[in-house]
Structure 1
Amino acid sequence: MPRPLWTGAISFGLVSIPIKVVSATEDHAIRFHQVHLEDMGRVRTRKICAIDDEVVPQEEIGKGYELTKDELVTVTDEELDEMPLPTAKAIEIVAFVDADSIDPIRISDSYYLAIDGQVAAKPYTLLRKALERSDKVAVAKFAWHNRERLGLLRVRDDAIVLHAMRWPDEIR
């Protein structure tokens, strides 16, 4: 089994099921490097400051949020880590809906949810069977990379799958 990408819990009501998230897909795309055709040297991407046209080393690069066209505010990793995300370590189920009510264009990456410890086996199986028998899927919120996301839980074979979803305003 692949290495877990995230650990947390599925939660709804008073139920909390410890889980591990593992990628459900593999990327087999061929990757190319850019090369200088004369001597086959790798061509690198350099980070250049737009103001002084100088190469900027990684340790001098931060994050900035654009308030207006001419005004940026810096944001540190520490500030992002301190932001309260209610779904920081939980996949919080917010609704159960019919599977055909979800537009497939909203579905993004897929991940298997595996139990994290034997204590999670029974409630995990109970949720999986309930989803299976009802022909429903669960709409959930979860936080990943300091950003709250929307997700869809559905059953595939003997596993619960989390599909990351796009928010409505991300669809053209």
Structure 2
Amino acid sequence: MAARKSVITFGMVAIPISMLTATQDNDIHFNQLHKEDNSRIRYKKTCAHCGKEISTNDIVKGYEYDKDKYVVITDEEIEKIKTEKEKSIQILHFAQLNQISPVYYEKTYQAAPEPGGEKAFELLRSALMSEQKIAIGKTVIGTKDTLMAIIPREEGILISTMFYADEIKEIQKQYNKPEVSEQELNMAKTLISSMDTPFDPSKYKDEYQERLRELIEIKISGKEIVASESDGAAKVIDLMEALKASVEKAKSDKESA
């Protein structure tokens, strides 16, 4: 996918950048088949008026302003009403790096400076990193004013699109908070401390997807599917006993690592 070009602006400074998606889809995807003959299920776009099958080139955007009455808006017309400010990422203000709840982050991009913007880009990154701040900005993507968080990292800058406050659901289910004893709290802290290691994303992998790939290979080869064995872990009902057992296991795992 082609990089999205933009400009970060704050004060009189303008930094030309390109934005590349920071994640990729590695999931196994299945097709829908007709169970009688295993043929692919196809979906067709048809006109509700004449029943004719429609291609992508035949489709335009329409807004229904009254029952069955539409006004057609073209992509060119949508672009025309954007101001230069709306085409750039305008920094509105700065905030503490840990001040934003993760629930507000939507999609993350890697930002890279375009030729001529390297010095200003590095100045913004190092200043944000030094102050442990992020920048909150805004730009228009498609037909929507989009909030963005500009996040400094040692290796560069990440830009995350953000949800607006009215797009975030309130916590629906509250709970009555029971009393926690000092002994239980201390034991929980001990467990956290015993499992405290630096985050290394390369250590984690989607193990279920691996088993799913194995399942597919087994099915292709015509072999029988064998159910996974239970790990046989016994449930500990008493909270303190569970915490103690967890601490011992964490210590044992750390020693054997």
TM-score by length of 2: 0.59
Residues 3-152 of structure 1 mapped to structure 2, 5 A cutoff: 4-51=2-49, 54-58=51-55, 59-68=57-66, 70-117=68-115, 119-152=116-149
CA distance in 2, matches of 1:13, 1:149: 20
CA distance in 2, matches of 1:61, 1:17: 36
* Greater fraction of residues in strand: 1
Distance 1:65 1:109, change over 3 A: same
Deviation at 1:68, TM superposition (A): 4.6
Name the Cα RMSD after superposition. Answer: 2.1
Q: Which amino acid aligns with 2:138?
A: K
Deviation at 1:26, TM superposition (A): 1.3
Aligned residues between the structures: 168
CA distance in 2, matches of 1:101, 1:69: 45
Q: Which amino acid aligns with 1:101?
A: Q
The Cα offsets for residues 36-88 of structure 1, whole Å up to 9 and x where unpaired, read as 22333221111233455x14412432212233555432222222222224445
CA distance in 1, matches of 2:145, 2:85: 7
Match of 1:122, SS state, is: helix
Distance 1:63 1:114, change over 3 A: same
Q: Which amino acid aligns with 2:12?
A: L
* Greater fraction of residues in helix: 2
- Name the structure 2 match of 1:164: 161
Deviation at 1:140, TM superposition (A): 0.4
CA distance in 1, matches of 2:108, 2:162: 9
Distance 1:86 1:101, change over 3 A: farther
Match of 2:47, SS state, is: coil
Deviation at 1:136, TM superposition (A): 1.1
Is 2:89–2:139's contact at 8 Å kept on the other side of the alignment? yes
Q: Which amino acid aligns with 1:96?
A: F
Is 2:125–2:153's contact at 8 Å kept on the other side of the alignment? no
CA distance in 2, matches of 1:64, 1:121: 42
Structure having the higher Rg: 2
Deviation at 1:89, TM superposition (A): 3.7
TM-score by length of 1: 0.85
Match of 1:110, SS state, is: strand
- Which stretches in structure 2 are left out of the alignment for 5+ residues? 170-257
- Which stretches in structure 1 are left out of the alignment for 5+ residues? none
